Structures are given as structure tokens and as C-alpha cells.
A and B are shown apart, each in its own frame.
Chain A
Amino acid sequence: MIELRNASLGYSDLIVLQDVSLQVEPGEVLAVVGPNGVGKSTLVRVASGALRPLSGWAGIDGRALHELPPAQRARLVSVVPQASNLPPAFRAQDVVLLGRTPYLGWLSSEGELDRRAAAEAMERTDTQYLADRRVGELSGGEQQRLLIARALAQAAPVMLLDEPTAHLDLRHQDRVLKLVRRLVAEENLAVLLALHDLNLVSRFADRVALLSDGRVRKIGSPQEVLAPEELADVYGIRIHVMPNPLDGKPLILPGE
């Protein structure tokens, strides 16, 4: 279980978020939403251990993230970054194999077990047909699924995803998030997901953390958090919310 308690997040000269307390349990998806620049990515970075909280606590299973050596941390938390700036000439299967890094010393190379874990991760994410292709030749959706495969090969109980649907069309947004949902069900993963699109959040998240003005404004079920007054206040436009006729979850419609 990954947990932030009264944590201030940011950089030496800039506090981005204050007094953040949240936790993610196995088997659930917590979506982090909020306007551009509110600190969603910063929160993911802190939860990954890449950035130390300025104050307060960020830890996993009772141990502070920054105290764990990188390899040990990476066995507990995997990260799916935004698919940009990947070295384009690497082959897809080699990228997934690098997910085994936390289990390998500097001088060792992958064994049969690692190869099998990577192959399985590619199968689960429907990327095995890409194995010999170069990363630069893949579409945005394929790169994103490949990064999920890499995270899956890490075999960590917690997975963090930073805007995994950015720049994807409707079909690929759907596909990536359904994949995440399926992995949560099958692996009992704890997933923290930074996401822009409130309707996707409504469909795919179990709980939502709404960030605004440097704080966590509200945490709860999509029904509780994705309320018209709340959203209008945070985003500064009028927002209508109605039950989605297909699944009864909140359907968010901006506009007059």
C-alpha cells in the first residue's frame, strides 16, 4: 500500500502541493485530476520516489520511499511515464526487458526467468506482435501499451501512470484504460493514475482525488467528487453532470 501523509510536494524554491494525504489500496484505481499545472505529475514523481517530499511522509508498506535503494523501490513501485523521448532505435522487446532492471545487478544480464516475465508482460498488454519493431516506428497508443508492458515486467504491486491517454484517440484511450482495469483485477495492483479527461476518470476510477490551488480539494468516489459545484469552482467554467445512460456513472458536460 502506497501512502502520502501531510506531505508538501515541490521543489526547493516552489511548493506545488501542500498537506497531501492519500493512499492507494491493492485492487483499486485512484485517479488524480485537476487543472493544468496543478501538480498531478509532481504527485506521481513523489509517489515514485523520484522526488522527495519537502515535508511530511511518502512511503510504501510503512517504509519511506526515499530511504529505499532504487532497485528495492522499483520492485515495489513501477511507473508508466508519458510516452515521449523514448530512444527511437531500441527494439520493443528490449524496452520491455529493461523492466527487469530491479532484479538484476549492474553486471548481470537477463536470464530465462526475466525473458519469460517480459514475454508474458507483452502478451498481457497485446504488444507481442511489436517485439522486433523499433520504438520510433510505433504509434502513440502502441508506445503507451509498451510502457505498460515494461512496468508490468517490473512485477511491482503498485503502478503509477502519468497521463497514459495523452495524445491518444478515443479508441486507444479506451483500450489503454481497459487494459489498466483488467490488470488491476487480475494482479490486484494498486494503481495511481494522473488523468485529464473527467469522463474517463468517471468510467475507470474507483476513487478520485481532485487537486486545486495547491491542495487536495476532495477525495472520494466519482459520484462524490465529480459534482457540478465542485468542478465549476475548480475549473472556472459552468459544468453539468448527469447520470450516464449507459452505466449510471457521472457524465460531465461543460458549457452553458
Chain B
Amino acid sequence: MILSRYLPWVWTGAALLAAALASAAVGAVAIPPGVVARMLLDRLPLFEIKGDWPAAFATILYEIRLPNLALTALTGMALGGSGAAFQALFRNPLADPYVIGIASGAGLGAVLAMALRWPSNLLGMAAVPAAGFIGALITVGVVYRLASVGKTTPVTTLILAGVAVSSFATAVTTLILLLSTSELHRAVTWMVGGFSLGGWEPVLASLPYLAIALGVLVLLGRPLDVLQFGDEQASQLGLDVDRLKLVVVITASLAAATAVAFSGIIAFVGLVVPHLTRLLWGPSYRRLVPLAALGGASFLLLADIVARSAMPPRELPVGVVTSVIGAPFFLYLLARAKGQLRAW
């Protein structure tokens, strides 16, 4: 009994560790995972390991691979965790920051901020997610308004509203990119989810946003469970439903917007990962939110490995990989939802 309580964490943690080691190992210069592990252990104070690896490995690992790995993992956590939160909020297994248009809204906000040419120091970088956050909040408000039928948000209206708002935001974003000078060309890669920034700065800049957003969402597992019984029952059980929804919208949008601001628009992670997590470890959001965050990190690390090694020497944007996996999965869920809307 006690063992089974910790089992999900052990498995999810082991998967993340394996994905991280693999991610650090794979690249133009392959570093064997065993060497990666020994290099990292060597950094810890208690371990003395004979450094028999080439000196270039250290540069590659610490200055290229690890920051990239950290940003990928953080982005995956943000997408997995906020995806779970949006599914809880809309009581709908098809909600995902991308599907409901929040990612595009955040992208528009972020591109607007980039077009204003903030300096590319830490403070300038922090302003981009803030603008993305505002874009995300506006989008979620509009989509929720459009999708609500009475007191429910049916799957069909949610997706239709998401598609419409998302298309609009993407169109405006494209327009800005076309009208702007060459400086924003990098943003085109960024838009389809290429981790192109590099270095530790984006990791450090995104960390406070994600720590706050994911921290709050993880702590709200119990009230999110109550919400699964519907607004009215939740209120009759003593939950301040409106206030909870407001807090969840803000924090989940913040997490999604930060992911978009630093890593571009990466679709379907927030859909696939919480869904698989639910199938594996049950529906309670107390575990679902943190496990989906950890699972999102593993998933995106693996997708990133595929993106970097599928067509060498070119690197695919990771968003392409997640869409190739996620879109059929989304269609499968949609087909199943036709038969039984509340199969989760």
C-alpha cells in the first residue's frame, strides 16, 4: 500500500532522469550517457572521479547541452502542468494551452514585446514572458466567453473558439513579423518551437515565473478535484468556485505564457501528457498536476532528442515533432469523445 503510493513518483522520476541523460548525450558530438553521469557526479563535492574524458566535452556539456536541457525540461513542465490545470478548469480532456488558443495569444504578446526591441539582457528577457502572459490572459478570457454555453463549456464550442481566436492571433503575429525588419527573423524559428536562444540566461529568466505558477497549481490539487463535480456541487461542498477559477486561469496562463515566451509555440504537450498521466496514475489532480509537469519534461526532452537527431545535420523545431505525435492523438481523443464525452 505504502509502496504503491510512491510508485508513480519513482517511475516518473526515473523516466525524467533517463530522458535527461539521453538528452545530454545526444548531439553532433555524442557523449556516452555513462560519461555524462560521471562528469556530473564529479561536480558534486563528495565524489572524486578520474576525468578521462576530452576537455571539449566539458564545454559542450556545461555551455550547450545542459542549458538547452534545462530550458527544454522547464518548458515541458510548464506545458504539462498548465495542460493538466486547463483540463481541470474546463472539465474537458481536450483542453490544452495550444488547442484553446492560449499559446497563440501568448505568442502574439511575446512577438509584440520583441518588436519593441527590449535589450537582450536578463531584464529584457523577463519582459517578453510578461507580455506573453498578458496576451494569454486576454485570449483565455475571450475563448472562455465564446465557448460557454450557459454554465458549461462543451468540447465543440471550446475547440471552435480556440481555433478561431488562435488563427486570429497567429495572423496578427505573422503580420508583425512580415512588417518588421530582419531582427525578428529568428522569431520565425521560435514560433514553431525551436529552442534557439541558448545559454543560461533564458533558464534563469523563466525560473521565477514557472516556480510561482507551477508551485501554486501543484498546491491547488484538492480544490481542483472538488471542481470536477461541477460548479454547483463544488460550491455546495463549500468551495469558492469563482475565486478558484480566477487563480487557476492566471497561474496556468502564466506557466503557458512563459513556456511560449522562451521556447515558442509547442503544441499538444499539454494535451498528450496529462492524458497519459491520467490513464497511468488516476484522475486526482493532487497527483496529476505534479506528475504531468514531470512527465511533460520527459516528453519534451525526448521530442527534442528526436528533433535534433532525425535529419542530421539539420535540427527540426521541436514543435514539429510534438505536433506529429500530438495531432493524431488529439484526433483519436476527439473521435472517442463523440461516443462518450466524459470518458475520463
Contact = CB atoms under 8 A, between A and B. Distances in A.
A61 to B, nearest CB: 17
Interface string A152-164: 0010000000000
A70 B284 contact: no
Contacts of B244: 106
Given A101-B238, A101-B239, A102-B237, A85 B284 contact: no
Contacts of B239: 70-71, 101
B42 interface: no
B226 interface: yes
B233 interface: yes
A71 B238 CA distance: 4
Contact of B226 (A50, A72, A98): A98
A46 B342 CA distance: 28
Interface string A46-75: 001110000000000000000001111111
B238 A94 contact: no
Contacts of B278: 89
Contacts of B222: 101, 104, 106, 108-109
Nearest to B220: A106
Contact of B238 (A70, A86, A89, A90): A70
Contacts of B225: 90, 94, 98
A48 B236 contact: yes
A81 interface: yes
Nearest to A81: B233
Q: Which of B226, B230, B239 has the most chain A CB within a 10 Å cutoff?
A: B239
A87 B229 contact: yes
Nearest to A153: B237
A250 interface: no
B230 A89 contact: no
A74 B219 contact: no
A98 B284 contact: no
Contact of A89 (B220, B226, B233, B282): B282
Contacts, number: 77
Contacts of A99: 237
Nearest to A103: B238
B240 A90 contact: no
Contacts of B223: 101, 106
Nearest to B344: A89
A79 interface: yes
B321 to A, nearest CB: 30
Contacts of A45: 232
Contact of B283 (A71, A89, A101): A89
Interface residues of B, number: 26
B120 interface: no
A107 to B, nearest CB: 5
B231 to A, nearest CB: 9
Contact of A86 (B229, B240, B284): B229
Interface in B193-236: 219-220, 222-223, 225-226, 228-230, 232-233, 235-236
A78 B236 CA distance: 7
Interface-centre pick from A69, A77, A79, A108 (highest chain B CB count, 10 A) = A79
A74 B283 CA distance: 24
Task: Output the residue of A77, A89, A104, A150 with the most chain B CB within 10 A.
Answer: A89
A104 B225 CA distance: 13
Interface in A94-151: 94, 98-99, 101-102, 104, 106-109, 150
A90 B284 contact: yes
Contacts of B228: 87, 90
A192 B275 CA distance: 40
A88 interface: yes
A138 to B, nearest CB: 15
A45 B151 CA distance: 15
Contact of A87 (B236, B238, B241, B283): B283
A86 B226 CA distance: 11
Contacts of B342: 85, 87-88
A156 B278 CA distance: 33
Nearest to B286: A109
A104 B223 CA distance: 10
B42 to A, nearest CB: 40
Contacts of B226: 98, 101
Contacts of B232: 45, 50, 81
Given A85-B230, A86-B229, A98-B225, A50 B220 contact: no
Contacts of A73: 238
A214 to B, nearest CB: 22
Nearest to B282: A89
Nearest to B242: A70
Nearest to A73: B238
The 3 A-B pairs with the shortest beta carbon distances in the complex, nearest first, are: A74-B238, A102-B238, A89-B283
Given A69-B240, A73-B238, A101-B226, 11 more contacts: A50-B235, A71-B239, A72-B238, A88-B344, A89-B278, A98-B225, A101-B223, A102-B237, A109-B286, A150-B237, A154-B238
Interface of A: 45, 48-50, 69-75, 77-79, 81, 85-91, 94, 98-99, 101-102, 104, 106-109, 150, 154
